Amino acid sequence: MRYRNCGRITALVILVSFWSFPVSGEVPTVTLNDSGSGGMRFYSDSEVREIVEELSEAAEAAIEEAAADAAKAVVLAALEKEAALGRETAAARAEARRWEGEYRESRSRGIKNAVIAGVVCFLGGIGVGVFGTMGMRN
């Protein structure tokens, strides 16, 4: 969604870059010393076409460069997203391994405790049976 207006903004920046803004202390790049026509210079059709072609070529080059930069930005954003996803996935795997290890430990402890409780109950039952029987005989 962030890159939706990227082309529009790029085109607007390119168009604005072709405007000439007067800056104080700037030396004029074109001097018009045509006093015969009241300070105005008239361009021939071929000069106008040549200027338009130069501007078109410059605009096309700027647009291609902006498009390349936008494509690079999209690729870099996708790579960053994949890297973040990879980090999250690695963290989730590590967490799953930790929980699996804890499960196995608690399961083995539970089995060990159940065996011990079974042996104690068995021996207690035998002891109660044997000593109870011996006590009833006397």
Render pLDDT for 10-28 as a digit per residue (tens, 0 to 9): 777 776 777 666 555 545 5
The owner of tokens 């001097």 is 31
| Residue 61 included in any domain | yes
C-alpha distances in Å from residue 138, one per residue of 19, 124, 125, 133? 121, 21, 20, 9
pTM score of the predicted model: 0.37
What pLDDT digit, counting tens, does each position of 64-115 carry?
Answer: 999 999 999 999 999 998 888 888 888 888 888 999 999 999 998 989 999 9
Looking at the 3D structure of the chain, how many domains does it have? 1
C-alpha span between 84 and 79 (Å, rounded): 9
Which domain covers residue 14, as residue numbers? 6-18+32-105
| Residue 112 included in any domain | no
